[in-house]
Structure 1
Amino acid sequence: MRDVAAQDWHAAVLAAREDGYGWFDWLGCVDEIGVADELRVVLSLRRLDDASAPELLLQCRVPRSEPRVDSVRDVFAGAAWHEREAAEEFGLEVVGGDRRRLLLDASVEAPLRKDEVLAARTAGPWPGAKEPGESTEGGASPSRRRTVPPGVPAPEVWGDRDPDGPDPDPAEIAAASTGGRVRRRSR
């Protein structure tokens, strides 16, 4: 994995292509919340002239508050779709990239950021929380605590909390992305 400064992103990808890495494989984005306050953009390139050459991974880190990186679609045309996906799913601004939406309505902001609450999962019962033998009529066994699905923070963090209280901590919301936590009964 080769680290690249965000301002050198385009030049580094161009240099890699000139070094023989002429096959664009994929470009993705990772939300590093809980580890760092940034997004990590990763690009995978391969050599076609040397099958034994390892995959080249380039990565740059951009602040979550201003996630901006230059487009590389002029270097690898196939990167355009991947850049659009990262922009739509993570809120990454790709300077010089195609700004059209791929999948989601414009009202949806950045659903793959870990601090984005998946409200649809809180609206109804989560089917993954049921165990064999549990019915919808009888509910869960009174001795069993219910688990919550991934992407749904505890009510104290988001949801059933004091509306006059402080905003939830993004790191606490991000911790909810693993799911399976036990939902405590409020008394």
Structure 2
Amino acid sequence: MTPEVVAPAAWRHRVSAAREEGYDFFEWLAAVDEIGRDDVFRVVLVLRRLDEPDQTCVLSTDLPRDAPRLETLRDLYAGAAWHEREAAEMFGIEFVGGDPRRLLLAELEGTPMRKDEVLAARSSGPWPGAKEPGESEASPSRRRMVPPGVPDPAVWGDREGGSPATPVEVAESAVGGRVRRRRP
């Protein structure tokens, strides 16, 4: 189903109207970082009717990256509070009137789901979990691969010429599967 696109200023009003239309079951709310396509965060909301469960209302809005703010829905739908806190913590979206406490990653600084966020822990230590290609004893000749989320050192960090990378350059370079370069 294609979501109905709502302006951020009309978000709360449109969600309230959907509730009056009978969409009284909050299913989920999530955010998506659209960097590389558009300079926005997209917030998507799915509501259902309890009397007709196959009827869904899907709404979306685009928030600017420099000031992602949206009115809270937690007083309209109690279940929205958890989803808003998660989106706030992971993407840095401010839900005006919402609960500002951290939910999942209290000790972590930053916004890990933003595509321009540098995940320094991945670049400074070994990748957790299964071994990377080339790290097993059975195939010592294979090259070490970079895990997802580690930007290319030519883009991120100390660069010659002193010009900082743009967030789009960092996000595009943070793709897993490329060969890890050895530093001189």
Q: Structure 2 length as normaliser, TM-score?
A: 0.88
Structure 1 runs (4+) greater than 6 angstroms displaced? none
Aligned to 2:54: 52
Cα displacement string for residues 35-79 of structure 1 (whole angstroms, at most 9, x for unaligned residues):
1111011111011111332x2211000100000000011110110
Check conservation: 1:129, 1:149, Cα contact below 8 A.
no
- Residue identity over aligned pairs, in percent, reads 54
Counterpart residue number, 1:41 = 43
1:172 alignment partner, one of 169, 172, 178: 169
Tell me what 1:17 maps to: 19
Q: How far apart are 1:132 and its partner, in Å?
A: 7.1
- Equivalent in the alignment of 2:102: 101
1:81 aligns with 2:76: no
Residue number among 151, 158, 174 corresponding to 2:149 in the alignment: 151
Q: Distance in 2 between matches of 1:22 and 1:83?
A: 18
Q: Distance in 1 between matches of 2:70 and 2:114?
A: 17
Find the residue that maps to 1:113 and give its secondary structure.
Answer: coil
Distance in 2 separating the partners of 1:129 and 1:77:
42
- What is the identity, as a one-letter code, of the residue corresponding to 2:79? G
CA distance in 2, matches of 1:132, 1:167: 32
2:146 and 2:180 in contact (8 A); partners too: yes
Aligned length: 181
Which residues of structure 1 form unaligned runs of 5+? none
Distance 1:110 1:118 in 2: 10
Q: What is residue 68 of structure 1 aligned with on the other side?
A: 69
Give the TM-score of the pair, scaled to structure 1. Answer: 0.87
For residue 180 of structure 1, give the secondary structure of its aligned residue in structure 2: coil
For 2:131 and 2:151, how far apart are their aligned partners in 1?
Answer: 15
CA contact (8 A) 1:41 1:59 kept: yes
1:156, CA displacement in angstroms?
Answer: 0.4
